[in-house]
Structure 1
């Protein structure tokens, strides 16, 4: 007597957990490649990637066809934490003057800054972070503040403007982020700009004040 065999399930797609992220297969644009290259150059300047390795990875980046290929080239370039004994900057305030925080400095989970009838620059490109996420509380009262963020970080802007506002120079790259930065606060008759490079005029002003030793904050 023949025994009926149970029906076999039809072959299906692989399990979801073994599939790559949905956007990994998306074609990479020239802008995506340039941003990934900036992440590698920053890591080289930091000593995390050697010059020889940089050349190899840049070749991978500029030959990449998908965002997944780009992610492979930059996914292990993570921020290097400083010693826990190093105090993190927590607050800078400028009243009728400039507030400047740039160069090498340690950023904790939260940092606060205010510019009152003045201007400010918070430069995070050479900063180190104590954890995977940082919240910046930035207030501009009749003033303008520029926040300079490094390549390879995820940025979320959630500030409130009253006859003023918060701006961001670009959206996310879609690549794995090395760090998450949330910018919040209030701009009253002022503005807070999140950028990857300072406008040339602001850069020159910061350099002039650095030579004179004016402005609050650290370098």
Structure 2
């Protein structure tokens, strides 16, 4: 019985197919796959319906020895503020490659000292809001050729931009923002040719929910104070 027959015939999700596609793009960039092999496997990836069909496509590539495991429940969102305990540890991803396609890193992951984003006729998104960091100083190296990249930062993180653009550019609008004590410093470097590297700052959904809850509680307390004041006035008039 082949190893494929041992795999559960579970349906693969779009995220599962995209993880396999990322492995194939890394293999192409490292010279492990020729372009015709890459294109053939990528086409089979997006046609695959089950884990068993995905497994052979990365079996001979590093860090790919089996089909992607079904996703576990998403970890709880990190708090919007406070950096204690979020610096240190081993990086979980060191590069993202988009060749006529796209990639995304978000949620709970560990940013390395140096992360490389490469896009050619494609785009990538790096979301740092819920990430841990291997070190207090990290470099994100962006190479964008007729493509784009976007980095999402939390509101309280330090940012420096040093990238060079030719018929393209790097977004400097988020530099100079006051940062929280202990927050990592991110430096964007690299090269954009007919492409662009953008930045933005956003709060996490958990932080926005917490703020909305706090605002609702303040409104409730204000209404209660007004009600009590009305009752006190009524009692004095009786």
* Band of TM-score, shorter chain: 0.5 to 0.7
2:155 counterpart SS class: coil
Pick aligned residue for 2:137 from 133, 138, 143:
133
Which runs of structure 1 show a deviation greater than 6 angstroms over 4 or more consecutive aligned residues?
Answer: none
Match for residue 95 of structure 2?
A: 91
Contact between 1:155 and 1:182, CA under 8 Å: does it hold in 2? Answer: yes
Aligned partners of 2:87, 2:185: CA distance in 1, in Å?
Answer: 17
Aligned residues: 127
Deviation at 1:169, TM superposition (A): 3.1
Query: Does 2:178 match 1:146?
Result: no
Match for residue 191 of structure 2?
A: 186
2:187 counterpart SS class: strand
Deviation at 1:148, TM superposition (A): 0.6
Query: Does 2:174 match 1:170?
Result: yes
Match for residue 158 of structure 1?
A: 162
Q: Please identify which structure carries the higher helix content.
A: 2
Contact between 1:124 and 1:149, CA under 8 Å: does it hold in 2? Answer: yes
Report the CA distance shift for 1:129/1:190 in structure 2 as closer, same or farther (over 3 A): same
Contact between 2:110 and 2:134, CA under 8 Å: does it hold in 1? Answer: yes
Q: Deviations for 1:178-209, whole angstroms, at most 9, x for unmatched residues?
A: 110000010010000011149xxxxxxxxxxx
Deviation at 1:81, TM superposition (A): 3.0
Deviation at 1:171, TM superposition (A): 3.5
2:190 counterpart SS class: strand
Contact between 1:158 and 1:184, CA under 8 Å: does it hold in 2? Answer: yes
Which blocks of at least 5 consecutive residues in structure 1 are unaligned? 1-44, 50-76, 199-219
Q: Please identify which structure carries the higher strand content.
A: 1
Match for residue 109 of structure 1?
A: 113
Q: Deviations for 1:125-157, whole angstroms, at most 9, x for unmatched residues?
A: 111101111100011110111111112111000
TM-score calculated relative to the size of structure 1 = 0.52
TM-score calculated relative to the size of structure 2 = 0.48
Deviation at 1:91, TM superposition (A): 1.0
Highest relative contact order (Cα 8 Å, sep 6+), 1 or 2?
A: 1
1:103 counterpart SS class: coil
Q: How does 1:33-72 map to 2 (within 5 A)?
A: 46-47=78-79
Deviation at 1:172, TM superposition (A): 2.4
